[in-house]
Amino acid sequence: MCTLCRHTFALLPPFILKFHRYAKEVIGTALHWLMTHTYDAVADLLSNGSLSRENHVLAPLTLYFWRRKFGQRQHF
């Protein structure tokens, strides 16, 4: 805790984006796949593919928000 302002701070590793649940690699992969696949197809690939955890579902709306926020960028 900072003794001057009495706040705590977190040092994030380089593969994490601030205020996001998913790692940069997952978001970048999703944006890349969205160039050739539909939102539903990419959500299904990420939810049922090798990047997912058991019983994890990614909503297509999340992909829509990522595309709006990051555009076509794959490096953040």
Of residues 60 and 53, more confidence is placed in 60
Q: What mean pLDDT is predicted for residues 17-22?
A: 84
Is residue 13 helix, strand or coil?
coil
Written as six digits, the tokens of 73 are 């960028």
| Band of residue 55 on the pLDDT scale cut at 50, 70, 90 | low
At 58 the pLDDT is 86
| Band of residue 10 on the pLDDT scale cut at 50, 70, 90 | confident
Provide the whole-model pTM: 0.73
Cβ of 41: how many Cβ atoms within 10 Å? 14
